[in-house]
Structure 1
Amino acid sequence: MKKFTADKNSEGMRLDRFMSKSVPGARTGDIYKALRKKKVRVNGKHFDGAYRLSIGDEICIYMNDEFFDAEAPAFQWVNSPCEIDVAYEDSNIVIAYKPAGLPSQEIEGVKDSLESRIRSYLFRKGEINMSERPLFVPSLCHRIDRNTAGLLIAAKNHTAQTIVNQMIKERKIRKLYLCRTERAPKPSAGEICGWLVRSDRDKKMIFYDEKPKNAAAQYCKTAYRTVNKAAPCIVEAELFTGRKHQIRVSFAHIGCPLCGDVKYGAGDT
């Protein structure tokens, strides 16, 4: 039997997810079997896997020691570069600048990312204790494209991640982008609304003004205002939906492609 106490890194976390992180040798079936057979107690009571933990909850898991002694997966980010440009930091979040060319998160074939650098940075500051098995590893709350530069928010604990994600969902946190376009939009401010479908031929996103019959079509909405009409024009864009290549496709569709965009440049809508 192992006993745990919920803290800010597990506050609001589902009990089954907590177990998957706390019992590395247990498979999903083992976890739900333990829950079903009432081998898991929170504050002395039995709950199902959907129960959400509160700070101070005492969790007792009655499973064999081999489930707990299994080696946890290695964290590759420990050896990542730790140099980041921090715009803001407190005990709950880090806001850091992502340069163009650096992925927000790890992608196939590329291990370096802003997220891995933030984790490495906090590890070297002593804010991630690797002597214990961390239930939560600092993570980005949103992403931007690899070739886009900008500020991203990373949560240091599960509570902060939940709050930031909810604020993004409720649009209490706005995402604004400054774009250089080949021409000034007409009118100078407005909204670009339509539907995006990924082409099977060249994998590009195609913009439709009306909803197509394709079941995979995704609605998109982008608000904009022109900041500088002189070429190259500078436009501020705000996303109301987060679709792949949304800004690039939307501005190309109205005849104002982003400067240097070889994929959706002039003539490609």
Structure 2
Amino acid sequence: MNTGMPNNPLSILFANDALIAVDKPAGMIVHGDGTRTLTLTDALREAILAGTIGRCDETDPNELQALQRLDRDTTGIVLFSRRKSTQPLYDRLIAEHGFEKRYLAVARGRARWTERTIDAPIGRDRHDARRMRVSRTGKPARTSIRVLDARHIDDAWLTLLDVRIETGRKHQIRVHLAHEGMPLLGDALYGKPNARGLMLHARELAFTDPITGEPLRIISPAPDRMRKLFPRHVK
């Protein structure tokens, strides 16, 4: 099931009695980092208190808890638990890898393959605390990738990818693609900065709701910056 509620301030993609899915914009963190920067969690709590997002108004803002994280400049779906009483069921689903997560990504370069799976462990970079890296001593990480399109733009090849992650390591997609020699467009940490911003979008989340038994499929529309680069394949 795909439920959308357009034209809300935070672009609420889905809501039921236990969950809220929010379309995170670029440049916003999900949780506080000690800098008092407005977070997605803060913004959702404020919108609920203001009564501006319809079906979510009965939620106690103090019980909201994000069930996943996205990097500051990654856009797309972030799922929130609405109630502490049911949150453990979703935490268990996450621990058991019960969510199917798909991303849209634009990478620099042109792939020599149509589909591939990168199975390479990821650990911290000992030389830069901000970075992760492929490491034999790291934690298992598996990323499946499919090429959707490739275009020669501004004297360089760019490739549009459909990405599915089977594990959830920090910076996993960014690290795996950079390791393959195809860093994400706009990735200042693992590639080069770009005025278009980081080209990574959490597009789809599918799972079976452990409370209702209902299969759910939540989709976030691709951002304009991706549609402009690949208008044939990005809707």
TM over 0.5, shorter chain: yes
Greater fraction strand: 2
Which deviates further from its counterpart, 250-259 or 166-175? 166-175
Rounded Cα–Cα distance in structure 1 between residues aligned with 2:127 and 2:99: 36
Q: Over aligned residues, Cα RMSD in angstroms?
A: 2.2
Give structure 2 stretches of 5+ with no counterpart.
Answer: 1-7, 52-56, 152-156, 193-235
Rounded Cα–Cα distance in structure 2 between residues aligned with 1:225 and 1:201: 32
SS across alignment from 2:141: strand
- Cα distance change, pair 197–128 in 1 and its aligned pair in 2 (3 A): closer
1:1-269 aligned at under 5 Å gives the runs 83-125=9-51, 126-128=57-59, 137-203=63-129, 204-208=131-135, 211-212=136-137, 217-230=138-151, 231-265=157-191
Tell whether the 8 Å contact from 2:21 to 2:78 is kept in structure 1 after alignment.
yes
- Cα distance change, pair 253–112 in 1 and its aligned pair in 2 (3 A): same
Higher Cα radius of gyration: 1
RCO (CA 8 Å, sep 6+): is it higher in 1 or 2?
2
Q: Output the TM-score relative to the length of structure 2.
A: 0.67
The alpha carbon displacement at 1:116 in A equals 1.3
Rounded Cα–Cα distance in structure 2 between residues aligned with 1:146 and 1:99: 9
The alpha carbon displacement at 1:149 in A equals 0.3
How many residue pairs match? The answer is 174
Tell whether the 8 Å contact from 1:199 to 1:206 is kept in structure 2 after alignment.
yes
The alpha carbon displacement at 1:128 in A equals 4.8
Q: Output the TM-score relative to the length of structure 1.
A: 0.59
The alpha carbon displacement at 1:259 in A equals 0.8
Greater fraction helix: 1
What is the CA deviation profile of residues 64-118 of structure 1, one whole-angstrom value per residue up to 9, with x for unaligned ones?
Answer: xxxxxxxxxxxxxxxxxx9411111222211111011100111121331111111
SS across alignment from 1:167: helix
Percent of paired sites with the same residue: 25
Tell whether the 8 Å contact from 1:167 to 1:173 is kept in structure 2 after alignment.
yes
Rounded Cα–Cα distance in structure 2 between residues aligned with 1:159 and 1:224: 36
Give structure 1 stretches of 5+ with no counterpart.
Answer: 1-81
SS across alignment from 2:121: strand
Tell whether the 8 Å contact from 2:67 to 2:80 is kept in structure 1 after alignment.
yes
